[in-house]
Structure 1
Amino acid sequence: MASEHSNAGSRFGLESTPSSMLLRFGKRELFLCRDYYKRSYRSNPLIECCAGVQPGHLQILLFRRWLVVMSKSH
């Protein structure tokens, strides 16, 4: 069962925006938001993966606009 929360706070090191969403699937969390970070490098136009800010997090950048953060819930 998935539960939805409209604000995620600073838990992922990101500010909550009106277009953000936090989904919880048991012990896993999926945070989706617009990415406003200005990168100093040219990112892949479709998808780019990297390690998250905290251990155990995976960040996926979709279409250079949407940031998906996957992690375990606390």
Structure 2
Amino acid sequence: MTTMNSTFGSRFGLEYAPMSFLVRFGKREVLVCRDFRKRFYAVNPIIECDTGVQPGHLEVLLFSRWLLIFSKAH
């Protein structure tokens, strides 16, 4: 059994995210999960981009439901 060392730490709280999976494309990682966080601002209903919690991460929220987090793989 092999394990992937992810750059997504516990600061994202993704251990509580339902149905998440990690995809690696060369030097990049993409984490896809359902958005479980409460947003305290008006969210664009189609696509919303924001910087991630950790440096070097980009969050993309699709259809107010799916969260894609892009980062460099280590």
TM-score, with structure 1 as normaliser: 0.79
> How is 1:35-50 mapped onto 2 (pairs within 5 angstroms)?
35-50=35-50
- Match of 1:20? 20
> RMSD value over aligned CA atoms?
1.8
How many pairs were matched up?
Answer: 67
Residue 42 of structure 1: how far off its partner (Å): 1.3
**Gap change, CA 1:50 and 1:18, over 3 Å in 2:** closer
Identify the structure with the greater strand proportion.
1
Residue identity (%): 54
Residue 41 of structure 1: how far off its partner (Å): 1.0
Distance 1:14 1:49 in 2: 19
Aligned amino acid, residue 14 of structure 1? G
Name stretches of at least 5 consecutive residues in structure 1 with no aligned partner: none
Distance 2:27 2:73 in 1: 5
- Match of 1:58? 58
Poorly superposed stretches of 4+, deviation over 4 Å: none
* Higher-RCO chain (CA-CA 8 Å, sequence separation at least 6): 2
Map Cα deviations across residues 36-68 of structure 1 (whole Å, 9 max, x no partner): 111111100000001111111000000111100
**Gap change, CA 1:40 and 1:18, over 3 Å in 2:** closer
